[in-house]
Structures are given as C-alpha cells and as structure tokens.
C-alpha cells in the first residue's frame, strides 16, 4: 500500500496527468457554478431605470477637456516591415506563462541571454516548496500584470521598458519601422470546455506588419505553430480595445530618446491616459450594447484610475458592471475573467472609500469566476478593505493567502509588516 500510494502521487504530478485532472476538476466546478452567471452588483450602481444603454450627457464631437493627438507624418511608412532575428518563445509545458514568454521574446530581441524561467522566478515565483519545479509551481498565479513585466525589465535587466495606455495601430507601425517590436495585451474569444465561446486575455509580441494583407506579424506564445502569424488589423484592434489599448516597448537605455521621439505625445503618460479616456468616451457613443459597450465603460474607468480620478472611475465602473449584468449573448458570453487581468475597479472603489464594494467584487471574482481563489490581486484588495472596516484578522488571512499564490510578493509582505505580523 505505501508503494502504491507513492506511485499514485508520482503519477499525479506528471504534467500531462495533473493537467487533465485539473481540467476535469475545473469542468466540474464550472458545471455546478457557471462563472458567466456570476454578477457583481455595486452599491453605487447608477439609477438608469430600464435603460439598457446609458450614455453620458456629452457627445463625441464636444469633448472640451480632452485632447486629440496631432497628426504628424514625417515620411510615409513602408508597405511591409518584418523585423529580423526574432527568437520565438512559447509558453507550453508551464502554467500561465504567457507573460514570461512574451517579455523573454522582447528581451531576447535585444540580446538578453535569459529565458522564460528567469522571468518567472521574479514575476510568478509560486510556492517556496517548489522553487525549481517550474512545471508545477506557477499554477496558482493565473496572470502576470503588465506593470510586473515592465518592472522586471527595468529592475532586473540592463534594458528599459515603457508602458502606455491608449495606443493605436499607426503608432505600433511607426515603432516597428524604427526597429522596436511591441508587446500588446489583448482579449480574444475561444471555445471553452462546454463548446461555448469565452473571452480570455493574452499578450501578443508584435514584430511586423504587411499592408497588402492588412495585418500585423505577431509571435503567439500559445498557438502551435505560433511564429510569424498574421493578425488582421480589425481583429487585433478589437481584442486590444478590451484592454484599453495598453502596450509596452522594450529597448536599450541608450536608445530611450529615440523611443520617446517615436512615441510623440504618448511620451507624456498623462496625455496618453487622457487620450485613452477620449477613445473610451467616443466608443461609448458608438457601440449599441453588448460586450463592446461593457469594455468601453470599463476602459473609461481604467483611464480615470490612471489619472487618479477615483470617484469618476468608480462611477464609470458602476455603469460597466450594470451593462455586464444585462449581457445575454449566446455566441459570446460575459467576459467573466475580466478581473483576473484588470484590477482598476479595486483602486476606484477603495480610494472612493467604498470598501464593501471592494469586498463584494473580490468575493464574486474569487468565489464565482475561478475554480480556486488564487488571484493575489483580488486577495490583497479584499484584505485592505477588510482592514478599513475593522476586520483585521480577515485582512491578515487574505494577505497570507496572497503570499501562498505569489511567494514574497512585496505588497502582501508590506501589508503584513505594517500590521506587525510576520509574513
């Protein structure tokens, strides 16, 4: 019996076996508790009666406080550019390695000698009990945020990275023409376990474009094969929109002035966030409903968060969640993974002193949209809100739970230290 038990444990930890068992467990959890049926109801929900598509009082042609980027074309862009010497890196044989794979490609392009596991040691270290078992240890951490990847480049390598919201296709083309590939975060729709189409987030290393085929050349770390694929401009932009057109570019420090010049007005982070807000306001006027309108309102909230306008952000997110609750699309279900990738609502509600909304949103995200409550960002924000309403013990438990997902995570370590508790 002891030998049989040891063999069973060993077989369980074989990656193909464990992957199938996890898939089976997830299917069972999602069958019993469908994640797309989970709806967060903010206490500050807007009073729009029965109106399904609430609009702000302004129109897209009258936005006096927002800025439109200047049109500056020094030289016509070539019809096609494909950057050479791309070293393709996939995310397979690892858990949730999209972020590490993409930033590794961006760094390898400039000559960095590291690999995806070098990135993961820092950005998704998993459990201390599995320090060198990269196949297993990264499983709980479902997503690596863009700022974590940018921080890795700026703090752990000799290269630099710059992150902005509100990008556009022509800007990416200009960067590529000058020899700077771009990492964009975007959404896409894929068949899930039940045969329905679900929304997920994904990084995409963008290394060229071809006007004759109307698309970007991308390196997709998930697909097989994933090298030098064509991503239609329309599809690329549609997916990018669900992440507020966020992107980052990696470059050698001696070329920073060149990158800033290519960015033009986007070099100013405040301008970029105001521009992203303008895009969201225009799209709110444009989209009749559905997921696109939800994304537009969510992006409006995200842009306000980036501008530290938290009360305005909270109202925008209220409207986004109101629209979300009314989504009923047989082909494209609710994007229930949204809070796995974007945490702006936590900032907005917390800094608007709406602590119960932080807790309720985290509960919905952790208990109803994921098979196990392993999102460290949701855990730490719920902990912060618990502390603010006087439940210190619940806060400590959430901080420690966040550290179980992401060992040594500075925000959780600091939160515990501030309470005089050992991590």
Q: Which domains does the chain have, with CATH numbers?
A: 33-48+75-342 (3.90.70.10)
Q: Are 413 and 422 in contact (CB under 8 A)?
A: no
pLDDT digits (tens, 9 = 90+) for 363-407: 999 999 998 999 999 999 999 999 999 999 999 999 999 999 999
- pLDDT tens column, 6-38: 565 555 555 555 445 445 555 555 556 779 889
C-alpha to C-alpha distance for 194 and 198, rounded to whole angstroms: 10
The three-state (H, E, C) secondary structure of 97-116, written as one string: CHHHHHHHHHHHHCCCCCCH
How many Cβ atoms are within 10 Å of 213's Cβ, its own excluded? Answer: 12
pLDDT value of position 127? 67
Per DSSP, the three-state class of 48 is: coil
pLDDT(156) > 70 = yes
CA 216 distance to own-chain centroid:
20
From CA 138, how far away is CA 122, in angstroms rounded? 11
Q: Could you give the CA distance from residue 15 to residue 291 in angstroms, rounded to a whole number? A: 35
**DSSP state, 389?**
T
Q: What is the largest CA-CA distance in the chain?
A: 76
Buried b (16+ CB within 10 A) or exposed e, 304-320: bbbbebbebbbbbbbbb
In whole angstroms, give the CA distance from residue 196 to residue 368. Answer: 18
CB within 8 Å of 283: residues ≥ 6 apart = 241, 292, 293, 295, 296, 299
C-beta atoms surrounding 159 within 10 Å: 18
Among residues 369, 364, 368, 374, which one has the least CA distance to residue 398? 374
Range 1-17 burial, b when 16+ CB lie within 10 A, else e: eeeeeeeeeeeeeeeee
3-state secondary structure of 20: helix
Q: Which residues of 58-94 are buried (b: 16+ CB within 10 A; e: fewer)?
A: eeeeeeeeeeebeeeeeeeeeeebeeeebebbbbeeb
More confident residue, 374 or 133: 374
Q: Hey, what are 16's tokens?
A: 């193909």
Which pLDDT band holds residue 75 (cuts at 50, 70, 90)? confident
Dihedral through CA 330, CA 331, CA 333, CA 337, nearest 10? 160
Strand partners, 164: 247
This prediction's pTM: 0.87
Does residue 75 sit in helix, strand or coil? Answer: coil
Alpha helices, H only, 233-343: 233-241, 256-263, 269-286, 290-306, 310-325, 338-341
Task: Give the pLDDT mean for 405-416.
Answer: 95
pLDDT attached to residue 139: 75
pLDDT at 28 (0 to 100): 54
Which residue has better confidence, 138 or 262? 262
Residue 61 has pLDDT above 90, yes or no: no
């Amino acid at each position: 019996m002891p030998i049989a038990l040891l063999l069973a444990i060993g077989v369980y930890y074989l990656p193909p076996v464990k992957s199938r068992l996890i898939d089976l467990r997830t299917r069972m959890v999602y069958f019993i508790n469908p994640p797309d049926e989970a709806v967060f109801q903010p206490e500050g929900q807007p009073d729009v009666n029965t109106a399904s598509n609430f609009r702000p009082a302004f129109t897209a042609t009258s936005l006096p406080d927002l800025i439109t980027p200047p049109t500056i074309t020094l030289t016509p862009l070539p019809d096609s550019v494909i950057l050479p010497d791309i070293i393709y890196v996939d995310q397979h044989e690892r858990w949730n390695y999209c972020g590490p794979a993409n930033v590794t490609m961006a760094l390898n392009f400039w000559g960095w000698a590291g690999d995806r596991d070098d990135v993961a040691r820092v950005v998704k270290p998993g459990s201390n009990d599995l320090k060198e078992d990269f196949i297993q240890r990264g499983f709980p951490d479902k997503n690596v945020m863009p700022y974590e990847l940018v921080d890795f480049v700026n703090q752990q390598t000799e290269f630099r990275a710059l992150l902005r919201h509100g990008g556009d296709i022509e800007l990416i083309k200009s960067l590529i023409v000058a020899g700077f590939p771009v990492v964009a975060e975007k959404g896409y729709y894929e068949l899930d376990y039940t045969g329905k189409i679900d929304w997920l987030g994904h990084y995409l290393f963008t290394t060229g474009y071809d006007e004759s085929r109307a698309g970007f050349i991308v390196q997709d770390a998930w697909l097989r094969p994933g090298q030098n694929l064509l991503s239609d401009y329309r599809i690329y932009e549609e997916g990018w929109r669900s992440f507020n057109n966020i992107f980052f570019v990696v470059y050698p420090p001696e070329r920073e002035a060149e990158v800033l010049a290519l960015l033009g007005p986007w070099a100013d982070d405040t301008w970029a966030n105001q521009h992203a807000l303008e895009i969201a306001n225009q799209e709110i006027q444009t989209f009749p409903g559905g997921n696109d309108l939800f994304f537009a309102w969510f992006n409006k909230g995200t842009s306000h968060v980036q501008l530290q306008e938290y009360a305005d952000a909270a109202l925008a997110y209220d409207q986004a969640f109101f629209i979300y609750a009314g989504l009923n699309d047989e082909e494209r279900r609710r994007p229930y993974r949204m809070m796995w990738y974007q945490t702006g609502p936590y900032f907005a509600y917390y800094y608007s002193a709406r602590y119960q909304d932080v807790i309720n949103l985290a509960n919905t995200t952790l208990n109803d949209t994921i098979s196990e409550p392993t999102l460290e960002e949701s855990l730490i924000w719920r902990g912060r809100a618990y502390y603010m309403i006087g439940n210190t013990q619940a806060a400590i438990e959430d901080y420690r739970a966040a550290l179980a997902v992401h060992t040594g995570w500075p925000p959780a370590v600091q939160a515990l230290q501030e309470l005089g508790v050992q991590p």
